[in-house]
Structure 1
Amino acid sequence: MTQPRPPMKPTRDPRVTLDDLVEVLLNKGAVLHLDLIVAVADIPLIGVSLRAAIAGMETMLEYGMLRQWDESTRAWAERSAGRRELELRAGETLVTRMSGGHLLEEGVYTGWRPGGVHLTDQRLVVLRRDPREVLFEAGVRDLRTVQLETETTVGGEQRTRLRVATLDGRTALLSAADPHGLHDALSSLNPALAALPPAPQGAPPGGLEGHLWYQEPRRGGPLWRGGKGRLGPTGLVWKSPLDARPGLVLVPEEILGARVEPGRSPGGDGQLVVVETASHGEVILAAEEPRRWAAALDATAAPEGTAGTAHPPGTPGAVV
């Protein structure tokens, strides 16, 4: 352990520059002695007596100052970093770690859940820090396919996502700070991974996502509202950016079919997407590519004889 140096001694030099002062503060330190009296009408009211030492942390520690504070701060930082890190198994090695997230695609409250993406030589894990939760986990050898997908956000930005599929049939859409690097790292760890085949135009297996207008039924008459729609194996979810929860959720069992009809559309092309539902009649949507959405919704419809299941408000399949 380094022994504390002798007490710092003040020096005075009126020719010093700002650079000299900064160098002294960082490398040697400075001691301030200040005695100040505030007077009004020659009557002293306030007295200030200040004794302060200013130096870089290394210098402070060398002189035996702030050691307890430094030790407690470093211990807190290590504990905080440990909460962000993935607990590795015996013999497991971390390959890469980056910020990212997992898209929750089931249930009413769907959406992106932010966290940290951890890739080891054994597992792919998306971990949320607070509250601590494993959002997604799969073994590297349990992955069947990996594919990079381009997604258009509500704001119109193009984002690259990573869709993974496992041998047990699970699929997940992940975001990552470096999706291409994560894709390459996964492929190098598991050479058997193959890219998912491109989904047919309008088909639901690969999902369809983009800006949608929803003609929301209201007492004073229907109202067009803009938002983001996502169509996947679990059905259609539409949500306005101003709402805390989705305004429209239709599961495949609720969808009877879809078609394109002429009409006044906020999309500007004069075509509407009309969705026939089992319990709520017609649901009217507008999109920049109405025929693509109609084809995908029609392909999502449940097989004949399985539709018609009603869903109470607040559950999947309800128009809320």
Structure 2
Amino acid sequence: MRKHTIKTLMAVSLIFVSVLAGCSKEAASDASVGDQVKHEIIGIDPGAGLMKQTAQALKDYDLKDWKLVEGSSAAMTAALDKAYKAKKPIIVTGWTPHWMFAKYDLKYLSDPKGSYGQDEQIHTVVRTGLSKDAPSAYAMLDRFEWTPEEMAVVMSAVADGKKPEEAAAAWVKDNAAKVDAWVKDLAQDNGKKLKLAYVAWDSEIASTNVVKTVLEQKLGYTVEMLQVEAGPMWAGIADGSADAMVAAWLPTTHQDYLEKYKGKFEDLGPNLNGTKLGLVVPSYMTIASIEDLK
């Protein structure tokens, strides 16, 4: 009789524990996306236009309980890598082209309210007077144009551990025909110094290092790279303390700077087409739209 009672109690205990475990799993699965990620969106440097657009998105979608975490491109990708390996939910500010889309299975959240605008282009912008002071550099910068796929080769090499200058030099060597077209019939300008401004986005690190390599190897310039935030980058071109940038995201991301410094620079047009901005999540997350965050 006693053995039967003990068995009955053990069975009841196991059922109770199973019910509790089931309730715990159900509660976890029923937790909102906001609860799962602590109502945080992992951002990049505070001066980036992407951060401004994300702040606007929080207003547009009435996401009052959400926080946009400032940081850097490197910090954002580090957080993404950690969460992805653990199959945990995470929401980051993202853009294309970027090497993370090749490394991870990611998706953009749809933006029905259009907070992030339409797809953009990356433009080459130079200081006033560069065509006269450094005609060969000006002509090369005017011809510079490549594809997201070509940029991704450099970005991926850097992400895998190569130094940016080494990855750029390897790409220039492997794409001799394209590079030769950028510098065809241009005179050498040995010893002349140039300053290229850029923001520390992986895409801009790639493009600026490629341009620097071509200007130095093919045309004889001495090039200094100036890593700054978006505001100082545009200000440097406008006041002449920097000569050029190949990192102007238009027409939306850098719209404020475009208007602020109008007439104080020369826009040479797009050097890359096919960009995109928005909120990015791993594909294993079930949400599909920014509206799902509310």
TM-score (norm 1): 0.26
Structure number having the greater strand percentage: 1
Structure number having the greater helix percentage: 2
The higher-RCO structure (CA 8 Å, 6+ apart) is 2
- Structure with the greater alpha carbon radius of gyration: 1
